[in-house]
Chains A and B, each alone.
Chain A
């Protein structure tokens, strides 16, 4: 079975631009979460989506948005990019949204903002 897939793997953008990152969960998983991992730090929670609805949001500005599609795949959008948005963006999928379900991570998208 395929694991969590993310695209693209790498991306270089300039300040002020917009970026869209994509994630496909494990087949049968209905929940997708997004995390940001800055170099040298642990991942920080951005969003969780379940059944196409936002179920939670971390401490990130409104420049960050996401959505989930009927096939449970998800997009993370970041507007007005800042240098500090450079990070590895990780998508995780789980069967359901509750805290008792393991989250499996994809390989990430490395975003560099110049």
Chain B
């Protein structure tokens, strides 16, 4: 399957933690990514996790992967107003019989941070 699902909206207060959730359907996915998109801009790669890992931490970002439930989350600690953006979850997998890796994206979660 190719469906990646995310909740569409999340609002938090500045200084709180944000948790953005994602579910995917294909257990063969090798890498899972989080991208950030600010208004009118392209996608910024935030972080990624290999499918054999449970957790990855990178400064304020923590990625948790539950492979059994096909659930991925992104936690942003001490959320700032500059973190307001759309966050996309994406899974990368090679097509059967090829080495091509394509990304399958969710619809994105709009994070709004209130001062």
Q: Give the B interface residue count (CB, 8 A).
A: 29
Q: Known contacts being A100-B30, A106-B42, is A56 close to B95, with CB within 8 Å?
A: yes
A79 CA to B74 CA in the complex, in Å?
39
Residues of A within 8 A of B (CB): 4, 6, 33, 35, 40-45, 48, 50, 55-56, 58, 88, 90, 92, 94, 97-108, 110
Distance in angstroms from A34 CB to nearest chain B CB is: 11
Main secondary structure of the interface of B (DSSP, over half): strand
A-B CB contacts (within 8 Å), total count: 82
Q: Is B45 positioned at the interface, with any CB of A under 8 Å from its CB?
A: yes
Shortest distance between the CB of A89 and any CB in chain B (Å): 10
On whether the beta carbons of A105 and B43 are closer than 8 Å, the reply is yes
Most buried by A among B31, B101, B104, B106: B101
Give chain B interface residues in 39-64, CB to chain A under 8 Å: 40-45, 48
Contact A99 B43 (CB under 8 A): no
Residues in A whose Cβ lies below 8 Å from that of B99: 55, 97-99
Q: How far is the CB of B9 from chain A (nearest CB, A)?
A: 12
Chain B nearest CB, measured from A57 CB (Å): 10
Query: At the interface with chain A, which of B10-18, B65-73, B86-94?
Result: B86-94
- Contact A45–B103 (Cβ < 8 Å): yes
